[in-house]
Amino acid sequence: MKLRSMKHVLSAIKRCDVIIKNGQEQFVGLYYDKVNFDRPMVLFKCDWGFNYYLSKVLDLMPVPCIEHKRLARALFNKTEEGEFIDPVYSSFVASIYGNLPDFKNVDKNNFDEDLNRDVVTQLYQLEADICKRAEKKFWQKKEGKEHKKISVEKSKKQLHENITKIAEEYGMDYKVLHNAKEETDEFYLETVIEEYDFDLWLMVMFSADEKKIYVGNRCIFRCFELCETASACKYVKFLIQTCNGRLKKTIKTYCEEFKLNPRIYEIAKNSIKTMLEMNYNWKGIEYGINDSMKTQVVVYLKEKELPDISEVRRLLGFLAPRMASCSKFQTYYNKKTKPMMYEVCITYNEFIRNPESFKKLIEEPRVLRKWNFWSHRKKYKQEFFDERFQTIAT
C-alpha cells in the first residue's frame, strides 16, 4: 500500500470536477478552469491495487464519479498528471462536463449555488485542519510502538467490538461491509449535521490479506499493523471525539460568517479592488488578487525591495568600511533582500464590518492571525501578480 500516494489522491479528489473510472481498475480525476484554459487537466491517476477502498471513498465524496471505461483507459494511458487532455478526447469529455451540475448553464450566474459550494469548501478545509491538529496531538501522546503479536481473528474481533461501542457512544450511523474477494471488513461511521447539511464520516478497513488496518476520511489516511489494533481503536475514538466536538462548535460560526447576499458581495468586492488600486498609486505596493470564491478574497502584496548591495556598500564605505567589504555581510544581505510578499485573506463580511483595518494592513503589510482576516509573509511568486491590474466596474 502506498500511503503517501493515497494522501495525494485524497487531496486531489477534493479539487476535481469529476472522476472518470474504468470499473475499479483505473481512476482519472479532471479539473477544468474554464476562465483561463480551453481544456480540462488531469489532476490525478490511480491504478495501484487499493481501488476498492478508493471506490468507497468516492461514494462519500462530493465529487461526481462517472463510469466510462474506454475514456478512462485512454486518458490514463495517454495523459500524465498535471497535463491537459489531448484535444482528440475533448468532445467526449465535453459531453460529461455538460451533464455536471456546476457546468450547466455556465453563462448564468447563480449566486446562491456558488456561495453554497464555496461554504462547503470552507467547511471541508476546516475539517482537514481540525483532523490534522487532532492527529498530531494523538501521536504526541502515544507512548512508543506496540509489538505484541495478535492473530487476524482476534484483531478483527477487537475492531468490531470497539467500533460498535464508539458508534453508540457518539451517536453515529454505523455499518459493516464484508468483501470476501478482497478479504476485507469495512466499518463506516457517519453522521449529518442537518442544520447545515454537512456530513461527517470515518472509514476503517481491516485487510486480512495484507494484515493491516486502514483508517481514513476526506482528508487523512493512516495505516496500522495488526499488533497496533488497540492504537487504531484509540485513534478512531480520538478523531471522532475531537473532530466532531470541535466541528459542531465551530461550524455555526463559519456558516454565520459566510452568510452573504449579492449586493453586499459586489460592494465589498469592488471596494477591495478600489482600495488596492489607490494604495498602489499612493504607496507603490504591487498587488495580486484572487476573488474566485464568494466567501472571501485573497490578496497578494509585494514587499518593497531594499536597495541594491552596491548602493549599500557605497553608503557603508563612509561609515563602516570593514563591514562593507565583508563577504559574510554580502551573504546576509542577499538573503534578506530576496523578494517577499504578504498573502492576505479576509472574508467579505469582515471587510464590510471593518474596512479601515483592511486599508491599514495593505498600507503597512504585516503578519496577522485571525481566522476570518489573516496575513502571512511568504516568498514572492510572480504568478500571483499576473492579474494585478483589473478594470474596476463602474
pLDDT digits (tens, 9 = 90+) for 355-374: 999 999 999 999 999 999 99
Of the candidates 51, 48, 45, the one whose C-alpha atom is nearest the C-alpha of residue 13 is 45
Q: What is the pLDDT of residues 5-25, one digit of tens each?
A: 677 778 888 889 999 998 878
Q: What is the pLDDT of residues 271-301, one digit of tens each?
A: 999 999 999 999 999 999 999 899 999 999 9
Q: Are 56 and 204 in contact (CB under 8 A)?
A: no
Phi, psi for residue 172 in degrees, rounded to 5: -105, 145
Helix%, strand%, coil% for the chain, nearest 5: 50, 20, 30
End-to-end Cα distance, the chain: 56
Give the pLDDT score at 272: 97
Residue 66 has which C-alpha cell?
462517472
Q: What is the pLDDT of residues 147-205, one digit of tens each?
A: 678 899 999 999 999 999 999 999 899 899 888 877 889 999 998 887 777 888 899 99
d(CA 356, CA 350) in angstroms, rounded, equals 11
pLDDT at 106 over 50: no
Query: What is the greatest pairwise CA distance in the chain?
Result: 83
d(CA 109, CA 127) in angstroms, rounded, equals 28
Q: 37: pLDDT confidence band, cut at 50, 70 and 90?
A: confident
d(CA 61, CA 199) in angstroms, rounded, equals 10
pLDDT at 313 over 80: no
pLDDT at 145 over 70: no
Q: Which residues pair with 291 in a beta bridge?
A: none
Of the candidates 290, 304, 302, the one whose C-alpha atom is nearest the C-alpha of residue 378 is 302
Q: 322: pLDDT confidence band, cut at 50, 70 and 90?
A: low
Give the pLDDT score at 311: 54
Please state the pTM of the whole predicted model: 0.74
d(CA 39, CA 276) in angstroms, rounded, equals 32
Cα→Cα distances 357→141, 235, 294, Å? 40, 42, 20
d(CA 280, CA 286) in angstroms, rounded, equals 6
* Per-chain mean pLDDT for the chain: 84
H-run or E-run covering 202: strand 198-207
Q: What is the pLDDT of residues 47-89, one digit of tens each?
A: 766 677 777 778 777 788 999 999 999 999 999 998 999 999 9
Half-sphere exposure of 9 (CA within 13 A, CB side): 25
Q: Are 231 and 139 in contact (CB under 8 A)?
A: no
Q: What is the pLDDT of residues 334-354, one digit of tens each?
A: 555 678 899 999 999 999 999
Alpha helices by DSSP H, listed for 2-146, are 3-13, 51-60, 69-78, 90-97, 111-141
Q: What is the pLDDT of residues 217-271, one digit of tens each?
A: 888 888 999 999 999 999 999 999 888 778 878 888 899 999 999 999 999 999 9
Residue 19 has which C-alpha cell?
472522476
pLDDT at 323 over 60: no
